[in-house]
């Protein structure tokens, strides 16, 4: 049984962030002139939640499958909650951009459903993390936390509830969906934000040589010459 709580803390922090984004998004009062133009708080909530769900599929579910007894049942119970939330995110976007199919669905009702689904997904995800913490080592939990953060940086910005979520098929779908989502985000002018990229590592000596860009350490100031000129 692991002793670190880093994965639990990261998941809790992420859901606190999503809850804050949801509160900001649902506080927006849509005006007729905003129809089909999008709204940054709503777009960013949708994109942030979608990326997190994709990261769970990419990093957490495989770890549960590899380390937890009865993992198939755990994942089977989690996926419907995640898909339900993704379907509602799809409805949020359609409602935001003025789809005629959404005219009978009021914003307050939709936001209530989203909040309920987000809480349900969080509870299912917490269960996965708790079970993993019982059966995996500290090193494995740290690795899962790192993989989830990395997966979120490269995850699609839109929900895809009806496409594969797990296995090789799910991984391939996410890789194909990300650039497609980015093209449509740019076309529609959506403000989707995103996690900050990892800082670039400094190139090693070999890469400095190949790039023809040596980065020699700065030489310390020559205090001897200064002292000699001062003595004169």
Q: Please check whether residue 229 lies inside any domain of the structure.
A: no
Q: Give the total number of structural domains in the chain.
A: 1
Q: Please check whether residue 201 lies inside any domain of the structure.
A: no
Q: Please check whether residue 39 lies inside any domain of the structure.
A: yes
Give tens-digit pLDDT for 137-192.
Answer: 999 999 999 999 999 999 999 999 999 999 999 999 999 999 999 999 998 888 88
| 113 alpha carbon, distance to own chain's centre | 21
Give tens-digit pLDDT for 58-85.
Answer: 999 999 999 999 999 999 999 999 999 9
Give the structural domain span for 180. Answer: 6-188
CB 28 within 8 A of CB 39: yes
Euclidean distance between CA atoms 21 and 43, whole angstroms: 10
Q: Please check whether residue 31 lies inside any domain of the structure.
A: yes
Q: Please check whether residue 210 lies inside any domain of the structure.
A: no
Q: Please check whether residue 216 lies inside any domain of the structure.
A: no
C-beta neighbour count of 111 within 10 angstroms? 19
- The residue among 43 and 101 whose pLDDT is bigger is 43
Q: Please check whether residue 203 lies inside any domain of the structure.
A: no
User: Per residue in 133-166, is it b (16+ CB within 10 Å) or e — as a string?
Assistant: beebeeebbeebbebbeebbebbbbbbbbeeebe
Give tens-digit pLDDT for 6-61.
Answer: 999 999 999 999 999 999 999 986 655 555 567 899 999 999 999 999 999 999 99
Q: Please check whether residue 106 lies inside any domain of the structure.
A: yes
């Amino acid at each position: 049984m692991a002793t670190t709580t880093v994965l639990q803390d990261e998941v809790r922090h992420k859901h606190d962030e999503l809850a804050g984004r949801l509160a900001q998004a649902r506080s927006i009062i849509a005006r007729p002139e905003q129809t089909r133009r999008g709204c940054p708080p709503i777009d960013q909530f949708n994109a942030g939640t979608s990326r997190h769900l994709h990261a769970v599929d990419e990093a957490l579910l495989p770890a549960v499958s590899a380390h937890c007894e009865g993992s198939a049942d755990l994942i089977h119970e989690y996926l419907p909650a995640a898909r339900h939330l993704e379907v509602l995110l799809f409805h949020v976007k359609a409602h935001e951009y003025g789809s005629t199919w959404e005219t009978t669905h009021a914003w307050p009702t939709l936001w209530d459903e989203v909040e309920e689904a987000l809480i349900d997904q969080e509870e299912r995800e917490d269960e996965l993390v708790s079970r993993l913490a019982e059966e995996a080592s500290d090193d494995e939990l740290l690795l899962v936390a790192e993989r989830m953060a990395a997966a979120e940086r490269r995850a699609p910005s839109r929900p895809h509830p009806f496409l594969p979520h797990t296995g090789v098929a799910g991984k391939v779908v996410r890789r194909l969906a990300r650039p497609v989502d980015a093209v449509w985000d740019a076309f529609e002018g959506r403000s989707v934000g995103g996690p900050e990229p990892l800082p670039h590592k400094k190139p090693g000596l070999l890469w400095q040589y190949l790039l023809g860009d040596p980065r020699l350490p700065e030489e310390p100031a020559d205090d001897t010459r200064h002292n000699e000129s001062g003595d004169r």
